[in-house]
């Protein structure tokens, strides 16, 4: 999915992501100018809502979350002094995530072993640790991963680059133990081309979505997006 946005617009997008994907425009650093805001809206990466008192709320759309996951090395503006604020917000969220999931920072930032089994970190000379570890039997993981991807493609009509509700996936895979399916989803989300996302539009969230949600970093994820 190719979207040409400027380094400043990229920084604005990350400023929103670092706030959980939503925020008042006036509170963002850097505060978006209309031309940058509208460029992101036209690209489908964010949406805007105007309140009764004129306050503008910006929300990262599914495409924005996906774009960011695929372009984490995209250039950001070197001319804005807001980069430090965005970094601080991102580090705070990273810290909350690693503590909640019992993940060592080295598992995220240290050089990655490209041949490692998805879902396993530097500690897996023993058993996988934490609630997001892959199923302990690699054959079970491979089987569940294959079943999950098959269910995804069945729901999308054999299409990638789209989203599927976790509620629909769970219904397709209702024979699978929920804890095992959760572990598999979390492991797959660490692979390139896979993202667990929120439904940002609260009016879209149904009771089934809430029941099926998977909590990541203390935030619910309602959707799975696969690119390949």
Burial track 95-116 (b if 16+ CB lie within 10 A, e otherwise): eebbebbebeeebeeeeeeeee
For 35-59, give one letter per residue: b (16+ CB within 10 A) or e.
ebbebbeebebbbeeeeeeeebebb
Mean pLDDT over 125-133 rounds to 38
Same domain, 124 and 222: yes
Which pLDDT score, from 0 to 100, does residue 133 have? 42
* Residue 122, pLDDT above cutoff 80: no
- Residues above pLDDT 70, as percent of the chain: 85
pLDDT digits (tens, 9 = 90+) for 207-226: 999 999 998 877 889 999 98
Condensed to tens digits (0 to 9), the pLDDT of residues 80-114 reads 889 898 999 888 888 877 777 677 787 777 765 54
Residue 60 lies in a domain: yes
**Residue 202 in domain:** yes
Predicted pLDDT of residue 165: 93
214 lies in some domain: yes
106 domain-assigned: no
Domain match, 169 and 210 both: yes
Q: Are residues 33 and 132 in the same domain?
A: no
Domain range enclosing 160: 117-226
User: Are 136 and 79 members of one domain?
Assistant: no
pLDDT at 130 over 70: no
> For the whole model, what pTM was predicted?
0.51
pLDDT at 3 over 70: no
Q: What is the mean pLDDT of residues 170-197?
A: 88
Q: What is the DSSP code string of 135-198? A: PSSHHHHHHHHHHHHHHHHHHHTS--SEEEEHHHHHHHTTTS-HHHHHHHHHHHTTSTTEEEE-
Does 33 map to a domain? yes
* 54 shares a domain with 125: no
The answer to whether residues 122 and 219 belong to one domain is yes
Q: How many domains are there within the chain?
A: 2
* CATH code: domain of residue 32: 1.10.10.10
């Amino acid at each position: 999915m190719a979207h040409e946005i400027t380094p400043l617009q990229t920084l604005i997008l990350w400023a929103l992501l670092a706030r959980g994907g939503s925020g008042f425009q006036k509170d963002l650093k850097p505060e978006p100018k209309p031309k940058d805001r509208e460029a992101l809206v036209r690209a489908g990466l964010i949406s805007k809502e105007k309140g009764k008192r004129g306050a503008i709320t910006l929300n990262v759309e599914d495409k924005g979350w996906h774009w960011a996951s695929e372009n984490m090395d995209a250039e950001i503006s070197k001319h804005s002094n807001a980069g430090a604020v965005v970094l601080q917000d991102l580090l705070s969220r990273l810290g909350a995530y690693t503590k909640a999931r019992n993940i060592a920072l080295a598992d995220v930032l240290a050089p990655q072993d490209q041949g490692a089994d998805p879902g396993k970190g530097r500690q897996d000379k023993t058993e996988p640790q934490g609630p997001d570890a892959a199923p302990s039997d690699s054959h079970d993981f491979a089987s569940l991963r294959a079943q999950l991807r098959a269910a995804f493609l069945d729901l999308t009509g054999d299409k990638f680059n789209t989203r599927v509700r976790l509620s629909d996936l769970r219904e397709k895979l209702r024979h699978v133990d929920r804890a095992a399916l959760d572990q598999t989803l979390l492991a797959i989300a660490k692979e390139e081309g896979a993202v667990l996302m929120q439904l940002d539009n609260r009016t879209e969230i149904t009771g089934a979505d809430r029941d099926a949600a998977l909590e990541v970093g203390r935030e619910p994820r309602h959707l799975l997006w696969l690119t390949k």
